Structure 1
């Protein structure tokens, strides 16, 4: 089991010293990665399910924040939970992600993408909300094509994106194609994870039967696509106070990574939460 930690600007604010201190402490404790969320825009009346989202919620750009973290750390991996892929042009995004990965020496390796749930966010970015799933599928293909293409250039002709003989440099560190994990709490997200993803990261508000059904669906979709279902990483949210017994139960469900968040109000208390977690699970820096 691997353990990562999230940083929420909504709770912790936009504090450069606080962000760097948090990431450095997580690295020193032995957490595998730090995750950042994304909302591109918000608006009065926006909700996720029945939960309202304050229009003043702090929502800085996660990739800019992760680049900032990368410059101040040396080992911790960089993740998004989740990046709203249909609202980014994949040609531009491919360059941004590869640049962060190259400058961090291969640490932009836990990119998790989702389709978004707010119609107003889609409208503000010029995206038809009803097409965001298809747009996401194409964007994933474009990202991988650009990262894997050589000096001869690559071409793509799809429903949303179209280009001929283009090159995209720099490449991700070591010439790799970056892993892309799929986030979302729906069956389409599970199918997308199996067909195109390197991992599946569902949300936290699912009943156990539906959660099992979605993982089974992701694995079945991988088989149908000619992919190895055993290679699909399975990430879940967890509490900073999670017990070893609960972790064992999650591992039995196939979970390979747990993402927690230090929730205390004061930095010193958050660091103490990280320390206690690291001691409980014998984390060691890589």
Structure 2
């Protein structure tokens, strides 16, 4: 089992020193990586997870912030939970992600993408909310095509993106691709993970049987598409109060990574929370 942490500037603030200390401490504790969420815009009355949120929450750009995290850490993997893929042009995004991966020496490896749930956010980005699923599918294909293409150029002709003989360097660090995990809590997200993803980052508040059905759907979809379902990673959220029994249940369900977040508002208490969790579940790990 792998363990990672998340950090939300919306909840903890955008202070760089505080973020750097959190990231360095997570790294020292032995956590695999750090995830950041994304929201481009909010507005009065916006609801996230069915809860109205203050529109002034300071969501920093996750990619810019992860580049900062890379600069103040040594081995921590960099992740998004989740990047709103339909609202980013994949040609630009491919360059951004490869650049971060190169400059961090191969640490931009926990990319998780989702569709977004706020229609007004899609509208603000100039995207038809109803087409965001198809747009995301094409974007994933474009990302992989650009990363793998050589100096002869690559071409793509789709519903949303169209180009001929494009060449894009640098490539990801010592690779021609980056893992793309699919985040979400719908059957469409599970199916997308099976068809195109390197893993499934399951979210939402679902019943255990619903959760199991979605993971099974991701695996069967992968198998039907000629992909090896055993290569899919399965990431889940958990609280810091996770028990040994809960961890055993995750393992039995096929979970390969657990993501937790500090809940305290005081930075010192946050570090104590991460330390206590690490002592229970990461002790002895390299």
- Measured in 2, the distance between the counterparts of 1:118 and 1:178 equals 27
- Measured in 2, the distance between the counterparts of 1:49 and 1:182 equals 18
Please, which runs of 5 or more residues in structure 1 have no aligned partner?
none
Moved more, 183-192 or 203-212: 203-212
User: 2:110 aligned with 1:115, yes or no?
Assistant: no
- Measured in 1, the distance between the counterparts of 2:24 and 2:284 equals 14
Residue equivalent to 2:126? 126
Q: Is the Cα contact below 8 Å between 2:106 and 2:172 reproduced in 1?
A: yes
- Measured in 2, the distance between the counterparts of 1:266 and 1:48 equals 24
Residue equivalent to 1:254? 254
Change in 2 beyond 3 A, CA 1:79/1:50:
same
User: How do residues 213-224 of structure 1 correspond to structure 2 at under 5 angstroms?
Assistant: 213-224=213-224
User: 2:178 aligned with 1:173, yes or no?
Assistant: no
Residue equivalent to 1:43? 43
Q: Is the Cα contact below 8 Å between 1:27 and 1:285 reproduced in 2?
A: no
Q: Root-mean-square deviation (CA), in Å?
A: 1.0
Residue equivalent to 1:60? 60
Please state how far the C-alpha of 1:176 moved relative to its aligned partner: 3.1
User: 2:133 aligned with 1:136, yes or no?
Assistant: no
User: How do residues 155-166 of structure 1 correspond to structure 2 at under 5 angstroms?
Assistant: 155-166=155-166
CA offsets 1:166-203 (integer angstroms, 9 cap, x no match)? 11111000033000000001000000000000000111
User: 2:11 aligned with 1:22, yes or no?
Assistant: no
Residue equivalent to 1:32? 32
Kindly report structure 1 stretches of 4+ aligned residues shifted beyond 2 Å: 282-286
- Measured in 2, the distance between the counterparts of 1:39 and 1:285 equals 34
Moved more, 39-48 or 141-150: 39-48
Query: What's the TM-score once normalised by structure 1's chain length?
Result: 0.98
User: How do residues 234-253 of structure 1 correspond to structure 2 at under 5 angstroms?
Assistant: 234-253=234-253
User: How do residues 136-155 of structure 1 correspond to structure 2 at under 5 angstroms?
Assistant: 136-155=136-155
Please, which runs of 5 or more residues in structure 2 have no aligned partner?
none
- Measured in 2, the distance between the counterparts of 1:285 and 1:248 equals 17
- Measured in 1, the distance between the counterparts of 2:77 and 2:283 equals 15
Residue equivalent to 2:272? 272
Q: Is the Cα contact below 8 Å between 1:27 and 1:73 reproduced in 2?
A: yes
User: Aligned with 2:174: secondary structure?
Assistant: helix
User: Aligned with 2:236: secondary structure?
Assistant: strand
Q: Is the Cα contact below 8 Å between 2:182 and 2:199 reproduced in 1?
A: yes
Change in 2 beyond 3 A, CA 1:281/1:272:
same
